Amino acid sequence: MNESRRDPEARHGFAGARPSGGGLGAISGPPARTIAPLLDIVDVARHFPVRSAFGRKIGAVRAVDGISLAVWPGETVGLVGESGCGKSTLGKTIIGIHAPTAGEIRFLGREIGHLPPRERRKVARDLQYVYQDPGASLDPRWKVRRLLHEPLKIHTRLSRKQRDAAVQAILRAVGLPDAHLDLYPHELSGGQQRRVGLARILTLHPKLVILDEPTSGLDVSVQASVLKLFRAMRETFALTYLFISHDLAVVRTMCQRLAVMYLGRIVELGETAAVFADPRHPYTQSLLAAVPKIGAARVSRTFSLEGEPPNPRDVPTGCRFRTRCPLAQDVCAAEEPALREVGGQRVACHFA
């Protein structure tokens, strides 16, 4: 086994313990690396086969194509990139909706990528997922009371009276009155649906929650209240978040570390404040340059990102970003850059 697989600190550029940056609500830096990562994914890939009309495999969509990332207890890690880069696919592969094509997914020190359904159910209590569309993830035929009771019936042996008490307590914790227990999902607003979805997974007291675009489609004022709720729940329940989003302003507020994805791979990884202050990869620079700014200077070394990403069925040779990068040279087509440390960040670029 090589050094990077044995030591996730070294693999992700965090060799040695680091200061925690304060309590769980702080975002100044990742927690101290004094314990093993809660989630450690190594070279994970998820390919979807493409078949002809006669069922013969003629190719594959390489949605996730060799990603390594560690998440430590108590931190919030952001995952950003253009639509179609593989963010949600990675989250669903971690949670078990998709089986990984290759690589390892280790949670609480256990490989969970290929567990049978019965064993996977045991993991589900500690590893939960908040879907991008909360309304679609809630059974429209069930009232909120039944939606919140169901996880407790599956994963615990609590009596009906104990479940009632737990459900009422968790609903109040997410800021909803008891009267909402007798409502159907369609009778709730988008923000209320997200609160119910969060309450549903918090009944099990999970250790890691994957948030998939948790503020998409919400008004700005509702976004603010939902983000405040996520922070409060992180502190109250000692949660760890993997925060998938395309909203860079939200990620900057919520996350201690940031991973930037492009066409199925991570191209930059580092502390959020450092990445925003000094982005090293041309793709990260273009993303930050696209964020509207009022009365503030844009990041240096920026350019306008044009065109669409290549088809994941036909990934370019070498660097995947070279077809849109103004710095591209012959070496970019011949050799795919590996993540290497550049100024405290991990960057996959020959010229970073």
Concatenating the DSSP letter of every residue in 259-305 gives EEEETTEEEEEEEHHHHHHS--SHHHHHHHHTS--SSSPPPSS----
Q: Residue 83 sits in a domain of what CATH number?
A: 3.40.50.300
- Residue 14's Cβ-count burial label (10 Å; 0-12, 13-18, 19+) is buried
**Residue 34 lies in domain:** 3-51+58-113+244-347
- Of 24-38, 150-164, 254-268, 308-322, the range with the highest mean pLDDT is 254-268
- Could you tell me if residue 259 is inside a domain? yes
Question: What is the pLDDT at residue 295?
Answer: 57
- Which ranges of 36-116 does DSSP label H, i.e. alpha helix? 87-95
- Could you tell me if residue 212 is inside a domain? no
- Could you tell me if residue 18 is inside a domain? yes
Q: Are 32 and 100 in contact (CB under 8 A)?
A: no
Q: Which residue has the tokens 């002809």?
A: 52
Q: What is the mean pLDDT of residues 241-262?
A: 94
- Which ranges of 48-182 does DSSP label H, i.e. alpha helix? 87-95, 117-124, 134-137, 144-155, 160-173
Structure tokens at 235: 């502190």
Looking at per-residue confidence, does 23 or 325 come out higher?
Answer: 325
The total number of structural domains in the chain stands at 1
Q: What is the mean pLDDT of residues 171-187?
A: 93
Least confident of 34-38, 139-143, 177-181: 34-38
- Percent of the residues in the chain that have a pLDDT greater than 70, as a whole number: 87
Q: What is the mean pLDDT of residues 303-328?
A: 85
Q: What is the mean pLDDT of residues 221-250?
A: 90
- Could you tell me if residue 122 is inside a domain? no
Pairing of strands 110-111, 102-107: antiparallel
Per-residue pLDDT tens for 184-220? 999 998 889 989 999 998 898 999 999 999 888 778 8
- Could you tell me if residue 129 is inside a domain? no
DSSP letter for 50, please.
E
Question: What is the pLDDT at residue 133?
Answer: 83
Average pLDDT, the chain: 85
Q: What is the mean pLDDT of residues 299-321?
A: 78
- Could you tell me if residue 300 is inside a domain? yes
* Cα–Cα nearest to 137, from 77, 217, 64, 201: 201
- Could you tell me if residue 223 is inside a domain? no
- Centre a 10 Å sphere on the Cβ of residue 202 and count the other Cβ atoms it contains: 22
Question: What is the pLDDT at residue 15?
Answer: 38
Structure tokens at 71: 């998440």
The pLDDT-based confidence of 18 (bands split at 50, 70, 90) is: very low
- Could you tell me if residue 215 is inside a domain? no
Question: What is the pLDDT at residue 13?
Answer: 43
Question: What is the pLDDT at residue 12?
Answer: 45
Q: What is the mean pLDDT of residues 43-49?
A: 96
Question: What is the pLDDT at residue 218?
Answer: 78
Which residues are within 8 A (CB) of 9 and not within 5 positions of it... i.e. 6 or more apart? 15, 16, 33, 70
Q: Are 77 and 257 in contact (CB under 8 A)?
A: yes
Q: What is the mean pLDDT of residues 241-260?
A: 94
